[in-house]
Structure 1
Amino acid sequence: MELQMVLFRMLVLVIMCSILNAFARASNVINRSCQEYCGNVSMIPYPFGIGNGCFVDDWFEIVCKSSNDSYDLGFPKPYLKRLDLEVMEIDITFPGRVRVSYPIFSSCTNVTNSTKNLKLEKTPFGFSENDNNFVAMGCNNSASMWSIFPDDSVSYGGCKSPCYRAPFTNGSHCNATNCCQTTIPSYLQAFSTTIQPKLSSSPYNGSNECKYAFLVDQNWFETNFTEPNPNMSVPVVLYWTFDNTTFYSLPTMKNMTAREYKNYTYICHLALVLRNPTNHCDCENGYKGNPYLLGGCGDINECTDPDFNITCTPNTRCENTEGSYRCVAAKNTKLSIIIGVSTSLGVLFLIFSGWGSYKVIKKRMRIKRKEKFFKQNGGLLLQQQLSTNNEVNVENTKLFNSEELEKATDRFSVDRIIGHGGQGTVYKGMLADGRIVAIKKSMVIDEEKLQAFINEVVILSRINHRNVVKLLGCCLETKVPLLVYEFIPNGTLAEYLNGQNEEFSPTWDMRLRIAIEVARALFYLHSAASSPIYHRDIKSTNILLDEKYRAKVADFGISRSVAIEQTHLSTLVQGTFGYVDPEYFRSGQFTDKSDVYSFGVVLAELLTGEKAISSIGARDTKSLAAFFVSSMEENNLFNILDNQVLKEMEKEKIIAVANLAKRCLNLKGRKRPTMREVAMELEANQMSQNLASNLQQKYGEIEDAKTEISKQRDVVSVSTTSSMDSAIAASSFDTQPLFISS
């Protein structure tokens, strides 16, 4: 009886724990009565929401109110309550974006006007660097922006629009006609905009026209933008992040044990880097939905879309599973029909004919699909470029098939990702022959990115240098193009200098050798190649290190080849903040000396260990180039150098390299050295350093030899003295005199 009572009490306890656990989980579910739409926005997902209890905190509260626009007065639209910005679209898939309507800045006078945009300062929101561009419009409009960061540092950017009167039509984009655009820096929350009209001798000098400067969603701008006006607003894409308190208050993070976390269909990441907006949740592969709600991620049925079950062949059947799918052998119903009607030759003929036709049609469909992707990914344009260029041909660039590269990367698993670039994602893979390669999967291709992809293939097919990353081939029969490179195992120079490799620290000899190898590669591109090549994006993240820490220059997406007699290249300003030549930024003319300036920034990074652009630290300016030059002019060089450099190298050698870096960073391109001169000076510095080391070693060997000779002389002296003593002793017993011959 007592045993039954004990068992009954244990059962009640288990039931109560289950009820409490279910109640705890139910308390994390967002109220089903939350309004999910407003006006034209049909989905307002959590962590955003309308009404109490429907959003994660006040910054994500949405209010549905009437617009102030006269033409649609009374029509409700969603607004971020605290920022009073109209919400146009919310995307909670990684990395999380919200598109809002943001006013443009305009000036209709001939005087310089400025404005500050501080609305997002000290909020969880910022302007997405990958989705937005800074645009200036109007005849002879010189527009600039100062990006303002929390530590009061700033970053300068902008562009100048040329003066040519041409109407804007729907579907047009900024093509250097009364318009220019440039990229924006990372983690931007506040900025100041200045419009400075310029006079021109052109008959369309635009003196009575309005000038504009604004941030805008680059995809919307290229497809939907029309003639601007001073009172209009344009779409801008914002990222969002959570502070730690808000992040751990999310339903998917609250009271989660390690076992519960493992069993759910989402992943949540907490960023540990200051101002890095990556606090987010995401659905696991094979699931989609809202990862910020418990049970928000649902299974994807891969069998409904051929793009998700491409491993299944016509002879197999796709079967959906939880989080994935599998290919199972199809039931051979046709064989059963053939056996059942084997007496009818006519039916048998029809069955075999139908099966043959099906196979032929299926094969043609696969071929047409691959041909479609081949054309879509610029295959015809690539063939034209390679066939018209006598220096390269298609045979130099292997065309891989999609199955081979999918197998090499485990179907492009997230575990194989080794980096993200401006043109796409890089995966590590192993080919069937055992070679380890790096496979770059391009982003969704538009006309501009397609040109960059073709350009990189053509240029790398012409280059054969040990300090330039080698292109092994490409694949054009997939939805987006793929590039296959040799695998460079030790990451980028930026990671190496930032101390991410604790086992093999960057010594002075290593830094100098890397600088020489990069200089040799650029000298080869500028002078030794059959026609000069301007890289246009030299930076420490585009310099890779192989297994022996030898430098490999990479990422030729915006590089250009020029004729031998050509002195410069006129283009829209492209590049990376902190590395762009100021003279190129002002004139729009890129020369070989522009690459020299970018190399000077890398050389300054090698000497100081600092980043090219940094908002953290004690230096007065965000730009390393300006900080380095000003420190040298103030005789403050040794206070900014890396401790490893100061500890290992003589000051005279350091000063020689620092002076070379300063010359590369001269604001006037004609006063900068060529890459040939840079490479020769660095090699001379290395040779003098090695010579001094060899002399010191030989001096040590000479001193050791002198010591050894001295010891031998002492031994001989003692031996001779002993012999003479013996001879004298012997002479006392001998009547004949003793003669010692010399």
Structure 2
Amino acid sequence: MMDNDIDCYDKNGRPKSNFMRKRSLTNPIFIISHTKNKFVSVGCDTFAYLKGFMNDKPFYSVCLSVCDSKSDVVNGSCSGIGCCKTDIPGGFKNITVVTGSLNNHIDVWDFNPCGYAFVIREDKFNFSSAYLTALQYYKTFPVVLDWTIGSEKCDLARNKSNYMCGENSKCFDPKYGSGYRCECKDGYRGNPYLDHGCQDINECRVKDNNNCTSKEKCVNKPGGYECRCIEGHHLDEPEGVCVPDRSAGQSSVAIYLAVGLFSLLLLLMGYSWIYWGFKRRKLIKLKEKFFQQNGGLLLKQQLSNHQMSVETTKIFTIEELKNATNNYDESRVLGQGGYGTVYKGVLSDNTIVAIKKSKIGDPSQIEQFINEITVLIQINHRNVVKLFGCCLETEVPLLVYEFITNGTLSNHIHDKSLSSLLSWEKRWKIATETAGALAYLHSSASMPIIHRDVKTTNILLDDNYTAKVADFGASRLVPLDQTQLNTLVQGTLGYLDPEYMQTSQLTEKSDVYSFGVVMAELLTGKKALSFDRPEIERNLAISFVSAIKEDRLLQILEDHIVNEVNIEQLKEVANLAKRCLSLRGEDRPSMKEVAVELERLRNMEKHSLGNIDVYAKKTEHLLSATSHSFNVDVDIGCSTSTTVEYDSIGDQVLKSVKDGR
């Protein structure tokens, strides 16, 4: 049994100290079963996280559950409205559950004064709206733990005197953790840890336990069985089947049988075309079934509603994509997530692509999958990942994208070896290109698009550090006569717009806030949300804005991107990020304004560097004169010109400065 973590408040939003707990749930030697348990949070203003260790490294799993009223809650559903349920990773141990609130339950206190988080055996939990109040009286919940014997694997343990596997059993190493376990050998059943615990199964007692035919009798053997021919039959060696013993009468029967078989063969040849026609028709129906199952009709409806065409999008066959990924070999996996798996593929024309394969048997992914196709078909921008095509006539839907070679921006910022190579100029270029792409989605697409999940893991980089915005599964098309949408809050903690979280009103300014967090990551090298940092610095957006207000910007910037030349540039970009992170959407600039401002700052920098180069070249030319003195007017790119005199040895004396143009 494990404890329930409770976070309660009074109607004024003050925490009740006797209901605030931080639970450490397991003994270090045991591992939580990731196949039998779920991590659950319950509440209408509740977030919770599960902290533990995998392979001796810290790991977090986060759950967010919200709702506006008790009527929003659906009994039996745990998808984020009043209840959130998520998987527990394999090998997760030494775990701690922490519960918190977004707004101290003030708006929902009358029907939900507390938030709850716990680990529970999956088949023992079925969500009910009554739990919003009743769970404060539950102290413990059932869980399933994985256990092993000792700390040594089978190879070492079976040679020790205290080896636990009994007769007719075998040892196996668990997938996670140390130690070993025992199980009965095939054909045996019982307790593998007792000397004679595994007993032989008599497969002949139950017909379903053996495959002997009517011409054979089953003979039980230790650990298995064998089929022997019944009396009057013998084994035909070439065929391996029991046939009747040969006699004169039997020979006549064999002749008649041969004639009958020959006639049957002629009949089958005559009707073979019927079989092939039926098989072809069955294959077509199966493809039609998968097409509908994978949202083909929904895609047609979306394209019709938005007056779009799929002429530029290729429909791939399942054979093409199998060959491209070597039958989805694990070595081709680029990444995995809640949506499914992304594979690296090579098409027949040697084009390298990324192939996104949705989860098998997960209907909830179909709408997100079709939404991504609908959005990407409309986009034609050099800084947005390109959709090559899709395949719907398979068991699971597939999307085919251009392959981006250099991984995610998140890897380049937070991996120390890669971060040192990411100069300020590259970061500035990436921010400018990403802002341009988002501005295009908001202002220049045939129908405005809100990405809704802007973050560094959804920005890909090629070998030239060109930014490519990716993953449009959560995006939304905005009708031309609307500026906002009412949606269930969706996104990533740390990047989510606070105003959107409070109101569920999705606007283009929500993307602006998320982009502000991306700029803060580029400037500081810190993650958007980290529970390893002190609480005051846990949320990067909040701590970044505070640092600028308190004139501490230089203290939080990543060291290697700062130099004497670019301090003013960094301050201007940081202040632009601060405006993007305004709590109210109306106080934030539009994405187009952000893109224009970043481009203007970059152009000013390029112009300034260009003038410095011209001035340096002209000066070097003048210094090459060594035989006499002369005067020259040098244009330094401003509204004045400078008269400079050089003597015979190249010493420079400033004579006068007068107004130019």
Question: Normalising by structure 1, what TM-score?
Answer: 0.62
Of 291, 315, 324 in structure 2, the residue corresponding to residue 374 of structure 1 is 291
SS of structure 1 residue aligned to 2:530: coil
1:161 aligns with 2:67: yes
Is the counterpart of residue 626 in structure 1 residue 535 in structure 2?
Answer: no
2:557 maps to 641
Shift of 1:196: 5.0
1:591 and 1:210 map into 2 onto residues whose CA distance is: 28
Using a 3 Å threshold, how does the CA distance of structure 1 residues 697 and 343 change in structure 2: closer, same or farther?
same
Measured in 2, the distance between the counterparts of 1:386 and 1:280 equals 56
Whole-Å separation in 1 of the counterparts to 2:121 and 2:277: 40
1:603 shift after superposition? 0.4
Alpha-carbon distance in structure 1 between the residues aligned to 2:146 and 2:380: 44
Q: How much does 1:362 deviate?
A: 3.1
Q: Deviations over 1:417-456 (max 9, x none)?
A: 1112331111101011111000011113434321111111
Would the aligned equivalents of 2:154 and 2:173 in 1 still touch at CA under 8 Å? no
Deviation at 1:217, TM superposition (A): 8.5
SS for the counterpart of 1:557 is coil
SS at 2:45's partner residue? strand
**1:395-406 alignment runs, 5 A limit:** 395-406=311-322
Q: Residue 301 of structure 2 corresponds to which residue in structure 1?
A: 384
Structure 1 distance, partners of 2:321, 2:564, is: 45
Counterpart check, 1:251 vs 2:157: no
Cα gap change, 1:437 to 1:247, in 2 (>3 Å) = farther
Which of 269, 276, 279 is the aligned partner of 1:352? 269
Cα distance, 1:410 vs structure 2: 0.6
Following superposition, the deviation at residue 393 of structure 1 comes to 1.9
Residues 308-331 of structure 1 deviation map (CA, whole Å, 9 limit, x = unaligned): xxxxxxxxxxxxxxxxxxxxxxx9
The one-letter code of the counterpart of 2:130 is P
Seen in structure 2, the aligned counterparts of structure 1 residues 132 and 241 have a Cα distance that, compared at 3 Å, is: same
| Among candidates 302, 306, 310, match of residue 394 of structure 1 | 310
- The 3 A distance-change label for structure 1 pair 280 and 215 is farther
Counterpart in the other structure of 2:280: 363
Quick one: higher RCO (CA 8 Å, sep 6+), 1 or 2?
1
1:608–1:642 contact (8 Å) kept in structure 2? yes
Q: Which runs of no fewer than 5 residues in structure 1 stay unpaired? A: 1-83, 86-101, 201-205, 257-264, 271-277, 282-292, 294-330, 332-339, 715-742
The structure 1 residue matched to 2:41, chosen from 121, 131, 134, is: 134
Q: What does residue range 508-527 of structure 1 map to in structure 2 within 5 Å?
A: 508-527=424-443
Determine whether 1:489 maps to 2:394.
Answer: no
Change (3 A) 1:159 1:687: same
Structure 2 residue 130 is matched with structure 1 residue 228: yes
Residue 508 (structure 1) shift: 1.1
Asked if the contact 1:216/1:236 (under 8 Å) is kept, the reply is no
Residue identity opposite 2:616 in structure 1: G
Q: Aligned equivalents of 1:499 and 1:519: distance in 2?
A: 23
Alignment CA distance shift 1:397-1:643 (3 Å)? same
Task: Summarize the Cα distance change of 1:388–1:528 in structure 2 as closer, same or farther, 3 Å threshold.
Answer: same
Render the CA deviation track for 1:86-106: whole Å, top value 9, x for unaligned: xxxxxxxxxxxxxxxx75859
Deviation, 1:699, is: 1.4
Q: Is the 8 A contact 1:173 1:223 kept in 2?
A: no
Question: Distance in 1 between the 2:278 and 2:567 partners?
Answer: 75
Cα distance in 2, alignment partners of residues 656 and 280 from structure 1: 57
Deviation string 1:285-334 (CA, Å, 9 cap, x unpaired) is xxxxxxxx9xxxxxxxxxxxxxxxxxxxxxxxxxxxxxxxxxxxxx9xxx
User: How many Å separate the matches in 2 of 1:671 and 1:536?
Assistant: 19
1:439 pairs, out of 355, 360, 383, with: 355
Report the alpha carbon displacement of residue 469 of structure 1 after superposing the two structures with TM: 0.4
Does the residue aligned with 2:453 lie in a helix, a strand or coil? coil
Kindly indicate whether the alpha-carbon contact (under 8 Å) linking 1:439 and 1:485 is maintained by their aligned counterparts in 2: yes
Paired amino acid for 2:67: S
SS at match of 1:394: coil
SS in 1 for 2:20: strand
Distance 1:121 1:696, change over 3 A: farther
CA–CA distance in structure 2, aligned partners of residues 236 and 549 of structure 1: 50
Displacement of 1:224 after TM fit? 4.9
2:522 and 2:487 map into 1 onto residues whose CA distance is 30
Please state if 1:669 is matched with 2:585: yes
Is contact 1:544-1:553 (8 Å) kept?
A: yes
Quote the offset at 1:128 in angstroms. 7.5
Which residue of 16, 24, 27 corresponds with 1:119?
24
Q: Which region of structure 1 is more displaced relative to structure 2, 112-121 or 635-644?
A: 112-121
CA contact 1:125–1:238 (8 Å) conserved in 2: no
AA aligned opposite 2:266: F
Go from structure 1 to structure 2 and tell me whether the alpha carbon gap of 1:500 and 1:144 turns closer, same or farther (over 3 Å shift): closer
Q: Partners of 1:153 and 1:633 in 2: how far apart?
A: 33
> Higher mean Cα deviation, 629-638 or 682-691?
629-638
Q: Partners in 1 of 2:147 and 2:427 — Cα distance?
A: 37
Q: Which amino acid aligns with 2:278?
A: I
* Residue 376 of structure 1: how far off its partner (Å): 1.5
CA drift at 1:713: 7.2
CA distance, structure 2, for counterparts of residue 173 and residue 471 of structure 1: 33
Assess if the C-alpha contact under 8 Å between 1:439 and 1:483 holds in 2.
yes
C-alpha distance in structure 2 between counterparts of 1:414 and 1:152, whole Å: 25
Contact map agreement 1:377 1:445 (CA 8 A) in 2 = no
Q: Equivalents in 2 of 1:577, 1:199: separation in Å?
A: 21
Q: Note the C-alpha offset of 1:215.
A: 4.2
Q: 2: distance between equivalents of 1:159 and 1:348?
A: 66
Task: Count the aligned residue pairs.
Answer: 530
Distance 1:539 1:241, change over 3 A: farther
Amino acid at match of 1:688: M
1:185-204 counterparts in 2 under 5 A? 189-193=96-100, 198=106
AA at the equivalent of 1:624: L
Q: Residues 214-264 of structure 1, C-alpha deviation per residue, up to 9 Å, x if partnerless?
A: 44789969995445352569989899899xxx99633368799xxxxxxxx
The residue that corresponds to 1:653 in the other structure is: 569
Tell me if the contact between 1:153 and 1:622 (Cα under 8 Å) persists in the aligned partners.
no
Aligned to 2:364: 448
Q: How far 1:369 moved relative to its partner?
A: 2.6
* 2:45/2:115 contact within 8 Å kept: no
Alignment check: 8 A CA contact 2:97 2:117 kept: no
Q: How does 1:692-711 map to 2 (within 5 A)?
A: 692-710=608-626
Match for residue 535 of structure 1 among 435, 451, 475: 451
8 Å contact from structure 2 (residues 78, 84) kept in 1 = no
Deviation at 1:482, TM superposition (A): 1.1
Deviations 1:679-714 (A, max 9, x none): 111111111111121111111101111012345879
Name 2:650's counterpart in structure 1: none
Superposition map of 1:208-223 within 5 A? 209=111, 213-215=115-117
Alpha-carbon distance in structure 1 between the residues aligned to 2:260 and 2:549? 100
Q: How many angstroms apart in 2 are the aligned matches of 1:619 and 1:198?
A: 22
Contact 1:134 1:183 in 2 (8 A): no
Q: CA deviation at 1:490?
A: 0.3
1:467–1:521 contact (8 Å) kept in structure 2:
yes
Q: Is 1:480 matched up with 2:396? A: yes
Q: Distance in 1 between matches of 2:71 and 2:276?
A: 58
Residue 563 of structure 2 aligns to a residue whose secondary structure is helix
Structure 2: give runs of 5+ residues left out of the alignment.
Answer: 160-170, 181-191, 193-238, 240-256, 631-661
- Aligned residues of 2:6 and 2:21 also touching (Cα < 8 A): no
- Partner amino acid, structure 2, of 1:352: M
Distance between the aligned counterparts of 1:628 and 1:399, measured in 2? 46
State TM-score, norm by structure 2.
0.69
Are residues 686 and 568 of structure 1, via their aligned partners in 2, closer, same or farther at CA, if it must alter by over 3 Å? same
Matches of 1:460 and 1:190, distance apart in 2: 39
How big is the shift at 1:403?
A: 1.1
